[in-house]
A and B are shown apart, each in its own frame.
Chain A
Amino acid sequence: MTEPPSDLELVAQVRKDSSVFGLLYERYVTKIYNYVYYRTGNHHDAEDLTGRVFYRALMHIDRFVDRGVPFSAWLYRIAHNLVANWHRDHARRQELSLEDVTLTGTARETPESATEANEDRQRLLGAIRSLPTERQELLILKFVDHLSNAEIGQIMGRSEGAIKSLYHRTLLALRDDLIGPDGEPGTGASGWVSGLIDSADET
């Protein structure tokens, strides 16, 4: 069985025949969509911006030069810039609703525990949203797109070590935000947030 062509091989083919771009599109549409979705908080803007990312990539593919940075990183940079413009243009970051973000409960949860769990998830999402942009980006790339620290480093223009350290500090900040600097839970803490507080008490 033959190996699927690499991104670089596909990019070279696109330069001769732009219809090959569809293969790159299929390879990355879901990842870019997820990235944009979690950065904007709603499906409508995620679809709009994902479309723009791929249009821009198609039109400017000649500008992509292989300097050791993968094509995917170039694509994520386009997405990053478009999302940044979107935040600037709409100036709505503060009022951005994450209600659209899927909050899935497990089948075994009772209605009460499901409500509690959803409240906890909302709290955590709120805490993630209040993080600086680069930290949000890191968490999305790591947990939603399942990229390695090295890949995230290439996208964010940092070393693998710097990403590792930023990741550690981000988790720490999130935990402090949820538990509070004095180790006391915020109002309404329940479910697994309380579990996190219990585990914090263990040391």
Chain B
Amino acid sequence: MTMRKRNDMADLVSAVLTPVEPSQQFVTELRRSLTDAALRSHQSLVRRYRTAILIGAALFGSLASVVGVVALIVRQRSRMRAEPAR
């Protein structure tokens, strides 16, 4: 196919495949609902983070208590072991 004929064909296709505009109402409504979805997803992310922080803090607190109790027991035992020697 020569360049000219190819250009003719391209011109024909170009005349048929013309860009269309989506309705303004559709564009506006979709933007609004995307903004809402973005906000919801942000809020749910914040909620998830908050829950994760709470769970983390609770776990840390429990772990600290357990470590404290264990340290106390170890200290008590070592003191008891030391006393008969005196």
* Cβ–Cβ contact A34 & B13, under 8 A: no
- Determine the distance from Cα of A139 to Cα of B15 in the docked complex, in whole angstroms: 12
* Cβ–Cβ contact A55 & B16, under 8 A: no
* Cβ–Cβ contact B35 & A47, under 8 A: no
| Residues of the B chain whose Cβ atoms lie less than 8 Å from the Cβ of A22 | 31, 34-35, 38
Main SS at interface, chain A: helix
Main SS at interface, chain B: helix
* Cβ–Cβ contact A54 & B30, under 8 A: yes
Interface residues on A, range: 35 or more
> Is B64 on the interface with A (CB-CB < 8 A)?
no
Smallest CB gap from B30: residue in A: A51
Q: Within the complex, what minimum Cβ distance (angstroms) separates A112 from chain B? A: 19
Per a CB cutoff under 8 Å, which of A38, A168, A175, A195 touches B17? A38
Given contacts A143-B13, A144-B19, contact A58 B31 (CB under 8 A): no
| Residues of the B chain whose Cβ atoms lie less than 8 Å from the Cβ of A29 | 22, 27, 30-31
> Is A2 on the interface with B (CB-CB < 8 A)?
no
> Is B12 on the interface with A (CB-CB < 8 A)?
yes
Q: Within the complex, what minimum Cβ distance (angstroms) separates B80 from chain A? A: 57
* Cβ–Cβ contact B34 & A21, under 8 A: yes
| Residues of the A chain whose Cβ atoms lie less than 8 Å from the Cβ of B18 | 102, 104, 144
| Residues of the A chain whose Cβ atoms lie less than 8 Å from the Cβ of B30 | 25, 29, 47, 50-51, 54
| Residues of the A chain whose Cβ atoms lie less than 8 Å from the Cβ of B27 | 29
* Cβ–Cβ contact B22 & A50, under 8 A: yes
Given contacts A50-B22, A54-B30, A58-B37, contact A199 B12 (CB under 8 A): no
Please report which residues of chain A, range 108-140, place their CB below 8 angstroms from some CB of chain B when the two chains form the complex.
121, 124-125, 128, 139-140
Smallest CB gap from B21: residue in A: A30
* Cβ–Cβ contact B6 & A200, under 8 A: no
* Cβ–Cβ contact B34 & A139, under 8 A: no
> Is A19 on the interface with B (CB-CB < 8 A)?
yes
- Determine the distance from Cα of A37 to Cα of B20 in the docked complex, in whole angstroms: 8
Smallest CB gap from B4: residue in A: A199
- Determine the distance from Cα of A83 to Cα of B62 in the docked complex, in whole angstroms: 52
Per a CB cutoff under 8 Å, which of A103, A140, A171 touches B9? A171
Q: Within the complex, what minimum Cβ distance (angstroms) separates B53 from chain A? A: 19
> Is A196 on the interface with B (CB-CB < 8 A)?
yes
Listed by A's residue number, 6 A-B pairs whose Cβ atoms lie within 8 Å are: A34-B19, A34-B20, A125-B16, A139-B17, A195-B8, A196-B8
